[in-house]
Structure 1
C-alpha cells in the first residue's frame, strides 16, 4: 500500500471528545424542567378569570358566596329532578339552604323577592333561576319564576320547547303574552300572564318575558313592575326574577330597589376578575342591596372539599356482582 501510519493519534481517554453526551443530557434536562414551569407560571400570570369559590373570595371581601355549582355533564337534564342525587343537585340544595337562611333572617316582611343576574350573557343566570325555582318548589312551597330579561328572553328554552311534554304537562293558555305586555297594557291583569307548570312532578308558576318591546327600559321604570312584585310577594313564598345582565344594559339597575336579594352569577373560566369590581362597588354604594354571589360551571378538579368528596353521598350503589 502507498499509505502508512507515521504516528498514532494521542488518546486522551476512553470516551470521545465530542459530542459530550453528559453535558447535552444535562442541558436538555434543565430545559425540560424549566419550560413547563415557565409555561405554567406565564399562564397563571396572564390568567384573569375566576375558577372557583376560593378565587372569588379573594376579590369580593365581605359579600357572601352562596354556593359553587359544578360543570354539567353532556347527558344531564337542564332541569333537575326532585330525587336527583348528583353533585349538581346537591350544590343547588346548598344554594337553596343558604339563600333561605338569608330570607328568614329578616322577620319584618316576607323578604322573598329574589333577582338573579350576571355581568354578561352566557354565565348561567337563567339556568340557575330556573333550577332554583324547581328546587324551592320541591319543598312544597309556592314559587313564581318571572322572565325579567325582556330584551333577550331565555325561559322559553327551558319550559316552552316541544319536547317539554316529555317531562311533564303544562298550561299553554298564556304563552303569547308575558311581562312586557303586562307592563305596557293596563287592561292586562297579573292572572292573565301566569302559567302553571308541571315539570318532573314539580309544580310552580312562570311568567314569561313576552314579546321584545321597543322601549324595555321605559316599561320597567313604570309603576306596574313594582305593583306586580308587591302582589306576587304576598301570594307566593318565593318570587324569583331572571333579570338582564347588568354590564350589558341598564334594565336591571332600574329595578334593583324592588329586590330583597340579588344573586349574582359568575362562571368559572369565563368571568373576568376585573369585571367583579363593578357589582362590588355598587354594593358598597348601596345600589345592590342583598347582594350574594354564585360560582357556576366549576370543573371537578377545582371544586371545594364538599364537591370533591360529596359525589353520591347517601346514594345506594349497585354492586357489580349483583344483577
Structure 2
C-alpha cells in the first residue's frame, strides 16, 4: 500500500536529510566498552556492597583464624666427585643444578618420610601437637547452642599414617636461589611444635641418606654388563637378518635399473623393435630372479617371525603375479630399512654402554653427595600468618571482583531500556523526545498553585474535570516541565521535513501499556496549542483509549472512525469539534468492529486521511501495538511520520528490535522513537538528555503487561474498560 498521493514523499526541504532511509551502522567497539562501563557505574551500589562485604569478611576471618608460627631448618646439599673424572662428567651430576635440587626437595616431601617422623615418640608426645578445630560460627550463635552439643576439642594423636599426612600439609620445602641451601619450614599454631617438627624432618632425612650410603648401592658395573649383553645379542640378530637380504637387495637394485632403461626405450622404439624385445626379455628374467631370491630370503629362519606376521598381506602369486611382485618389493625394502635403522641404534647403545662401564669402573668408589644441617630451627617469636594487610587486601579485591561480577551479570540479564543513550546505542534510531515519568501529585500541586493565582479559571475547570491526569495541556499544568518535553517532541516532528508535506503523524508501540495514547494525545494538544488545526483519530479499533483520556463515551451519537470506515457515517459527522481546546478536534473509535483488520485494509481509509489532510494542518493517529495485532502495519504506509513509543524499564529490548525488523520488512521508514516514562536519577543525568533531576514515582506499574502475553489484546472481556471514568484526576488510573 503506497502513501497518500496528495503528499508525495520525494520532496524534502534542505534540512531533511532522511537519516532513516537505511539501517545505521552499529557503534564501534570503543563505544560499546564505554556503554558497558557506564552501565556498570550505574550499578555502583553492587560494587560498593561487594567491597564492604569483602572487608567485613576479611575482618571476620582475622578474628577467628588462629595465629600460625613458622620454624625453619636449613640443609646444605654438598657435591663430592673423584679427581680422576673429567670436568664435563662432573657437570652431568652436579647437585647445583635446579633439577637435582628439586629432586632432593621432593624426596624430603615424601609421605613415607613424614610417617617415620610421625612414628617418633618425641614427636607424638609434643604438647598441642594436634591443633583444636576452629569454630567459625559467630559468638552470638555459639551462645544459643547447648554446651552438650558443642564439639569437643580434638586431643587424641592419630596414627602415624594420618599424622604424617597432617605434617606433610604443615611442611614447606623451598630452595634458596643460586645456592645449595634448602629450607624445611613447618607452620603450626604452637611455636615449640613447629620447631620440633622441622628438626625431626631434617634428622630423619639425614638418617635416610646415611643409611643409603652404608647399605651400599646396586653394582652399576653389573647392570651395565647385563645391558651390554642384551644390546650385543640384539645387534647380532639384526645384522644376521640383514645379511640374508643382501643378494635379494642386489637383484632389486638391478631390477630398478632395468625398469628405468625399459622406460627410456619405450619413448624411442615401438613394442616390436628388436631392442625393446631384448630389453623386455631381460626385465622378465630379472623379475623371475628377484622372486626366486625373495622366496629364499623369506623362508630363512633368521627372520621367519616377521614374514609369518606379514604373510597375509601378500596376494596370490598365481592369480596376481604383478601385484605379488610389487608387494614383495615394498615389503623387502621396508624390512631392510627397519633392520638397518635397528642395527645403527643398537650399535650406538652398545658403544655408549662400553664408555659408561669404563667410567663407572674408575669412579665406583667416589661418593656422589652428602647433606648436613646448615642451621637448626628456632622457636619463632612472632606469628607468620595470617597477615592482616594481606587478608584485608585479598578480601577487598575479592569483594570488588564479586561486586563487578554481579553488576556485569545484571547488565547482561537486563532486558529493558533505562536511558536514551541505551536505546540509541542499541537500535541506532533517532530519539525524538524523552518524556519522564509523570508524577500526578506534581501536576496537582501545579494546578493548585495556578488556581490560587487565577481564581477565575476555576469557573472553566468543569470542562476539563474528566480529563485524564496524564493530559498535560490543561489549565495550570501546561507550563510545567512535563509539557516542555512534549513541546520538544512537537519540535522534533516538525523538523522531520516540510510540514505541508508531512501532516500525518502515527504513534504506536511494540506492546500494550507503553503510553502511546497519552503520547499521541499530548502531542496533538501541543500542536493545537501552537495555533495549528489538529485532528486526533483513534485508530486502535481493538482496544481504544482516546475516549478515556477525555472522559467521553466510546460510541458517540454520530459514530466514530469505525462507522466512517464502514461507510455508515460521513467524515464530517464523526468529528468532535467541541473538545474544550482551541484548534483541537477528535475522532473516536466508535462501535466495536468485528473485523478491524479487514476494515482498515480498504481504500476508504486512504480517502479519509486525504480528506483530513485537506482540512487540518496536523493529523495524529493513535494506533494499536505493532506486535500485538497487525492493524498498525496496514496503517503505517499511509502516515508521513511513524513514531514508536518505548517505555523505560518496561519495553523488552527484543520487542523493540522485532518492531524495527517488522517495519523494515514492510518497507516503512521509522521517523524516530519517543522514550516514555523514564525515571531520572542523579547518576543518569545526561543519559536521557532531560531537564534535570525529578524524583518520580512508580507510575506505569498498572500498565506492565508481560511481553508475549498480548494474544488477547482487545478481547471482549475488556469491554467494561471502554466506559469513561469521572474525575480521572481525583483517582489515579
TM-score, scaled to structure 1: 0.78
**Worse-superposed segment, 201-210 or 23-32:** 23-32
Q: In proportion to residue count, which structure has more strand?
A: 1
Map residues 141-220 of structure 1 onto 2, 5 A cutoff. 141-160=532-551, 174=556, 177-184=559-566, 186-199=567-580, 201-220=581-600
Structure 1: any 5+ residue segments left out of the alignment? 1-8, 163-171, 312-323
Q: Which has the higher contact order (CA 8 A, sep 6+)?
A: 1
Of 420, 424, 429, 1:53 maps to 420
Give the deviation of 1:30 after TM superposition.
4.2
The change in CA–CA distance for 1:121 and 1:19 in structure 2 (over 3 A counts) is same
Distance (whole Å) between structure 1 residues aligned to residue 563 and residue 586 of structure 2: 15
Equivalent residues of 2:642, 2:672 under 8 A apart: yes
Structure 2: any 5+ residue segments left out of the alignment? 1-190, 193-378, 444-468, 695-733
2:440 is the counterpart of 1:74: yes
Distance (whole Å) between structure 2 residues aligned to residue 52 and residue 239 of structure 1: 29
SS where residue 153 of structure 1 aligns? coil
Distance (whole Å) between structure 1 residues aligned to residue 670 and residue 380 of structure 2: 82
| Number of the residue aligned with 2:430 | 64
Map residues 29-48 of structure 1 onto 2, 5 A cutoff. 29-48=396-415
2:673 is the counterpart of 1:293: yes
Distance (whole Å) between structure 2 residues aligned to residue 160 and residue 175 of structure 1: 15
2:502 is the counterpart of 1:111: yes
Distance (whole Å) between structure 1 residues aligned to residue 422 and residue 472 of structure 2: 27
Distance (whole Å) between structure 1 residues aligned to residue 523 and residue 381 of structure 2: 78
* CA RMSD, Structure 1 to Structure 2 (Å): 3.0
| Number of the residue aligned with 1:124 | 515
Distance (whole Å) between structure 1 residues aligned to residue 402 and residue 624 of structure 2: 44
| Number of the residue aligned with 2:686 | 304
Distance (whole Å) between structure 2 residues aligned to residue 29 and residue 98 of structure 1: 49
Q: In proportion to residue count, which structure has more helix?
A: 2
Of 222, 226, 232, 2:612 maps to 232
Give aligned pairs, total: 289
Distance (whole Å) between structure 1 residues aligned to residue 604 and residue 664 of structure 2: 28
Give the deviation of 1:52 after TM superposition.
1.9
CA deviations on 1:8-36 (whole Å, 9 max, x unpaired) are x9696588x99987676556544543333
Equivalent residues of 2:647, 2:678 under 8 A apart: yes
Give the deviation of 1:300 after TM superposition.
0.9
SS where residue 102 of structure 1 aligns? coil
SS where residue 294 of structure 1 aligns? strand
Give the deviation of 1:102 after TM superposition.
1.5
The change in CA–CA distance for 1:197 and 1:296 in structure 2 (over 3 A counts) is farther
**Larger Rg over CA atoms:** 2
| Number of the residue aligned with 1:319 | none
Distance (whole Å) between structure 2 residues aligned to residue 290 and residue 54 of structure 1: 18
TM-score, scaled to structure 2: 0.36
Distance (whole Å) between structure 1 residues aligned to residue 557 and residue 644 of structure 2: 28
Distance (whole Å) between structure 1 residues aligned to residue 480 and residue 381 of structure 2: 68
SS where residue 605 of structure 2 aligns? helix
CA deviations on 1:93-128 (whole Å, 9 max, x unpaired) are 1110010121426xxx53201110111101110010
